[in-house]
Amino acid sequence: MSETRIAPAASALQSAKRTDLSRHVGTELRGVSLLDISDADVVSITHLIAERGVLVFRDQHMTLEQQIAMGRRFGKLHVHPAYADAKHPEALRIHADANTRHVAGEGWHTDVSCDVEPPGISMLRLEVVPPVGGDTAFASMYAALEELSAPMQAFLMDREAVHAGDVAFRGLYKSKAIVEYPVNNHPVIRTHPITNRKLLYVNSGFTDRIKGLRARESKALLQMLFDHVAYGIDFQCRVHWEAHTLTMWDNRCVQHAACWDYFPETRSGWRVTTVGEQPYLDRN
């Protein structure tokens, strides 16, 4: 890991110690209190996370109510279609212990991409961490696209994929709720609204099929793309959690997977997430 000093215009970030976790994705910023940042800091963080995909902040002591208020500064907050907290609908409880059968974030995915306007920035703060394990892996979808061959990129450029809540909520998590989870079509390659960079936008958590292809063609192509992300160690990083670490990630340009290697220990915290825009592809 390389260490430099970040020098944006915003004052709270000027003295932050920056450590890039890998070349393509992930940056840790020490010495920043997210409860004390200015409006200019919010803009700087939003732009930096659009470039780096993941930002890690240590020693963020706050209540859930403070976390929700802080999250609102980055945009309208998302309400999870399946697991929103009853008392605080803008928050999602992330908890696993000796009685847990499935943990949030298993498998490579981007959060709730089945929504018509999928999540933008997720902000997870862990209060309790296991003595060892429990990392989160992240993968850059900018680099994932760039690592595909030119003919494959050209083929995918004209495609849309179906993203369905049932894939995760009824499939992986075995939800029995009598509700209709969102189903929406999104471009397989989309544009990030801040960086204007193109990126790969399919994930094993929510992408059901690619439109216009036969079922076996879609299944084979998606499995290749899912494997491409999962095995893409050249464009991944891992975040090691400490108590009171808050990690932000941009769901547009990264996928993540939670490592459940700490059973039966406890890992617990809260996530708040902003609402993004409807995914689009700008060819220009």
State the average pLDDT over residues 33-44: 95
Q: What pLDDT does residue 102 have? A: 76
Tokens of 175: 């939800």
Q: What pLDDT does residue 7 have? A: 40
Tokens of 71: 């999250």
Ramachandran angles phi, psi of 29, nearest 5°: -120, 110
State the CATH architecture for 76-275. 4-Layer Sandwich (3.60)
Strands 160-164 and 207-210: antiparallel
Spatial separation of the C-alpha atoms in residues 67 and 24, rounded to whole Å: 28
Tally of CB atoms within 10 A around 11: 12
Complete DSSP assignment for 192-240: -TTT--EEE---TTTEEEETTS-HHHHHHHHHHHHHHHHT-GGGEEEE-
Q: What pLDDT does residue 15 have? A: 82
Tell me which residue of 134, 165, 82, 175 sits closest to 257, measured CA to CA: 134
Asked whether residue 8 carries a pLDDT value surpassing 50, the answer given is no
Tokens of 107: 């498998």
Residue 234: left (phi > 0), alpha (psi -120 to 50), or beta?
Answer: alpha
Spatial separation of the C-alpha atoms in residues 61 and 68, rounded to whole Å: 13
Strands 54-57 and 27-30: parallel
Give percent of the chain with pLDDT exceeding 90: 80
Residue 191: left (phi > 0), alpha (psi -120 to 50), or beta?
Answer: beta
- What does the domain layout of the chain look like in residue ranges? 76-275
* pLDDT tens per residue across span 127-177: 999 999 999 999 999 999 999 999 999 999 989 999 988 666 554 544 445
Q: What pLDDT does residue 11 have? A: 65
Complete DSSP assignment for the chain: -EEEE---SSHHHHTPEEEESSSSS-EEEES--GGG--HHHHHHHHHHHHHHSEEEE------HHHHHHHHHTTSPBP--TTT--SS-TTEEEEEE-TT-SS-TT-SSB-TTTTSSS-EEEEEEEEEE--SS---EEEEEHHHHHHTS-HHHHHHHTT-EEEEEHHIIIIIIS----SS---EEEEESEEE-TTT--EEE---TTTEEEETTS-HHHHHHHHHHHHHHHHT-GGGEEEE---TTEEEEEETTTEEEEE----TTS-EEEEEEEEE---------
* pLDDT tens per residue across span 233-281: 999 999 999 999 999 999 999 999 999 999 999 999 999 999 999 999 9
Tally of CB atoms within 10 A around 82: 16
